[in-house]
Amino acid sequence: MRIKMCYPVVLLLLFNTGALAQLGETKQKFTHGDTLRGSLNPNRTWWDVQRYDIRVKPDYATKTIEGTVRMKFTALASGRRMQIDLQQPLLIDGITLEATGPATPAKFEQQENVAIVDLDREVSKGETRVLSISYHGKPREAVRPPWDGGWIWKKDDKGRPWMSVACQGLGASVWYPCKDHQSDEPDQGATLTMIVPDTLMAVGNGRLIQSQKKDGLLINTWEVKNPINNYDIIPYIGKYTGFTDTFMGAKGKLDMGFWVLDYNLEKAREQFKQAKLMLRAFEYWMGPYPFYEDSYKLVDAPHLGMEHQSATAYGNRYLNGYTGRDLSGTGWGLKWDFIIVHESGHEWFGNSITSSDLADMWIHEGFTAYSETLFTDYYYGKEAGTDYNVGIRKNIRNDIPIIGPYGVNKEGSGDMYYKGSNMLHSIRHSINDDEKFRQILHGLSKAFYHQEVSTGQVERYISEKSGFDYGKIFDQYLRTTQIPELDFYKDSIAGTITCRWTHCVDGFDLPISLPSASQKIIPTGQWKTFAVPASALKNWNEGSITRLYYVTVKQLAAKP
């Protein structure tokens, strides 16, 4: 999530045509460290992570941690040199390659937030081994989580320790050693064991599989059976109390858990009723919740919120809207809790379907931002959903392209949220068949279930299943900062519309569905004249077009 609202208003009719961004290009200098972090180099590509077993013991007083990670991996090709990511100032104490006999120590050198590991022997293609890593230190402390993340050391309202982590973008290697790249999730899941004072509760992703108290300590182990993003594996440590519920959904009974600070219990029992409403709407629009095996949870967090798989971080003050504000300005955004809806939407887009490179994060954020419109649509009607979607346009900046540079762990514009949402709204209405659009979303959830994907794969899927090539539409909205303009002349006597697209990439051809008619037209960059029904012609105007499509409109007084 990490959505940061700074309210830069970009009016649709005001833009500088002389400063249009080049297709997919942004100029920025990157370091060797950026490349190590963001690229799939030879020290990463020959092995595939199967499972993480993480054990961590935080010390609240000194703001330090110590831990071990057992990383199970399979060799995709023979190799012996590995890149393990761990951000400074954390230090690796030792690395061993587990074997049937005594574990074998491995040589390693830490540099630029990575450790280059030299195994004592080559691991053969197809072989599965376990690397055990012990580490300690003072992890980077979050400055303004979740946007400026790291380990979070706070106190709750009663002055008791409250700890967690927020690390999307920054990377999970800020607190544990791993292969810190979105393209490689642990296929066989993960466990997280937390060792904390027994006066506190430790909550993690998935299900609690073991809990014991010993010598004043609580040792809790949580497990997810499904693949999981590295940045989604998160400890929550505080004075938590829990309650449960169940949801009868598309795949049967879904266990629901809610872990909140003890003094928030009654507020949570009421506010969290919205979780079932969210699940019902999203299963309708996007298909079954993707992690039935691991349950669904909301957990009080010392920050606004994050989409931590099966353990969503919640910090919205038990208010509807975005901490009580409506980001759309329409009133619809105050009908529901933004964090419950938005962050849970990431279970489908972000957690189940994950972008293989951070540059393609619009796959996470664009679809999830549009899930807010879909939720509003489901409960309050299609016009309400459209109201909401139009309202959020004021948050679009059109500063840089949505897709960022590849291979350097860099996102593109924050417009991936609400410009991404408006792009999808435009595509939906150009299809002009909500059942087909819904089946496309279901199809994406099924075709890319628990997978890492690229923008190209998503583009091709939508084009194939819609029966129209949306390649130029994706180019326009994802790879430039231009807002397309539809120039038109309406001839009421002849019953025609003459129109063309301008301020757009070559070949831009977004279809426009005619109001009050089942017909659609496909304008291009050249003037074309279309015969339209009288009812559609009557309702054809700037408002009827811009309400459904993220475009600008210019009506001509004379036929071109």
Give the pLDDT confidence score for residue 2 in this predicted structure.
53
Give the pLDDT confidence score for residue 519 in this predicted structure.
86
| Integer Cα distance of 201 and 439 in angstroms | 42
pLDDT of 27 over the 80 cut = no
Does residue 132 lie within any of the structural domains? yes
Q: Please give the single-letter amino acid code of residue 184.
A: D
Tokens (6 digits) for 442: 């279901």
pLDDT tens track for 435-463: 999 999 999 999 999 999 999 999 999 99
Mean pLDDT, residues 158-163 = 98
Give the pLDDT confidence score for residue 101 in this predicted structure.
65
pLDDT tens track for 283-327: 999 999 999 999 999 999 999 999 999 999 999 999 999 999 999
Pairing of strands 150-155, 161-166: antiparallel
Closest CA to 189 of 52, 349, 73, 353: 52
| Integer Cα distance of 3 and 362 in angstroms | 12
Does residue 301 lie within any of the structural domains? no
| Integer Cα distance of 425 and 501 in angstroms | 18
| Integer Cα distance of 398 and 419 in angstroms | 8
CATH of residue 8's domain is 1.10.390.10
Give the pLDDT confidence score for residue 1 in this predicted structure.
58
Does residue 344 lie within any of the structural domains? yes
How far is C-alpha 470 from the chain's CA centre?
A: 22
Does residue 298 lie within any of the structural domains? no
Give the pLDDT confidence score for residue 115 in this predicted structure.
97
pLDDT of 24 over the 90 cut = no
pLDDT of 4 over the 70 cut = no
pLDDT of 278 over the 70 cut = yes
Closest CA to 510 of 534, 485, 479: 485
Looking at the fold, whether 61 and 205 belong to one and the same domain comes out as yes
CATH of residue 145's domain is 2.60.40.1730
Place 104 in a pLDDT band, splitting at 50, 70 and 90: confident
Looking at the fold, whether 52 and 188 belong to one and the same domain comes out as yes
Looking at the fold, whether 48 and 167 belong to one and the same domain comes out as yes
Mean pLDDT, residues 111-138 = 95
In whole numbers, what is the pLDDT of the chain averaged over residues? 94
pLDDT of 162 over the 90 cut = yes
Give the pLDDT confidence score for residue 72 in this predicted structure.
98
How far is C-alpha 26 from the chain's CA centre?
A: 22
Measured distance between the N- and C-terminal CA atoms of the chain, rounded to whole angstroms = 46
Which DSSP symbol is given to 18? G
Looking at the fold, whether 23 and 147 belong to one and the same domain comes out as no
Looking at the fold, whether 409 and 505 belong to one and the same domain comes out as no
Tokens (6 digits) for 101: 């006999």
pLDDT of 3 over the 80 cut = no
Other Cβ atoms less than 10 A from the Cβ of 216: the count is 8
Closest CA to 290 of 169, 412, 475, 451: 451
Among 482, 517, 545, identify where a domain stops: 482
Looking at the fold, whether 181 and 275 belong to one and the same domain comes out as no
Residue 184 sits at the vertex; the CA angle it makes with 180 and 188, to the nearest 5 degrees, is 115
Lowest mean per-residue pLDDT among 38-52, 192-206, 533-547: 533-547
Give the pLDDT confidence score for residue 103 in this predicted structure.
75
| Integer Cα distance of 269 and 267 in angstroms | 6
Among 461, 482, 503, identify where a domain stops: 482
pLDDT tens track for 472-509: 999 999 999 999 999 999 999 999 999 999 999 999 99
Looking at the fold, whether 514 and 525 belong to one and the same domain comes out as yes
Among 482, 512, 535, identify where a domain stops: 482
Looking at the fold, whether 356 and 381 belong to one and the same domain comes out as yes
Looking at the fold, whether 151 and 53 belong to one and the same domain comes out as yes
Give the pLDDT confidence score for residue 64 in this predicted structure.
98
Q: What share of the chain is helix, strand, coil (3-state, %, to 5)?
A: 30, 30, 40
Looking at the fold, whether 520 and 395 belong to one and the same domain comes out as no
Give the pLDDT confidence score for residue 17 in this predicted structure.
30
Give the pLDDT confidence score for residue 225 in this predicted structure.
98
Other Cβ atoms less than 10 A from the Cβ of 533: the count is 14
CA distances from 215 to 26, 160, 168, 209, 278 (A): 55, 20, 34, 20, 42
Give the pLDDT confidence score for residue 220 in this predicted structure.
98
Looking at the fold, whether 348 and 430 belong to one and the same domain comes out as yes
SS3 540: coil
pLDDT of 275 over the 70 cut = yes
pLDDT tens track for 499-553: 999 999 999 999 999 887 788 999 999 999 999 999 889 999 999 999 999 999 9
| Integer Cα distance of 80 and 47 in angstroms | 10
Does residue 304 lie within any of the structural domains? no
Does residue 245 lie within any of the structural domains? no
Which residue range(s) make up the domain with 83? 42-238
Does residue 371 lie within any of the structural domains? yes
Place 14 in a pLDDT band, splitting at 50, 70 and 90: very low
Return the C-alpha torsion angle 83, 84, 86, 90, nearest 10.
-110
| Integer Cα distance of 349 and 421 in angstroms | 13
Cβ atoms of 360 and 410 closer than 8 Å: no
Does residue 519 lie within any of the structural domains? yes
Tokens (6 digits) for 54: 């993480």
pLDDT tens track for 281-292: 999 999 999 999
Give the pLDDT confidence score for residue 29 in this predicted structure.
83
pLDDT of 262 over the 80 cut = yes
| Integer Cα distance of 365 and 251 in angstroms | 25
Q: Helices (DSSP H) in 165-293: which residue ranges? A: 265-271, 274-286
CA distances from 14 to 10, 398, 482, 489, 552 (A): 7, 11, 11, 21, 9
pLDDT tens track for 390-448: 999 999 999 999 999 999 999 999 999 999 999 999 999 999 999 999 999 999 999 99
Lowest mean per-residue pLDDT among 213-222, 347-356, 382-391, 534-543: 534-543
pLDDT > 70 fraction of the chain, expressed in percent and rounded: 95
* Number of domains comprising the chain: 3
Looking at the fold, whether 164 and 219 belong to one and the same domain comes out as yes
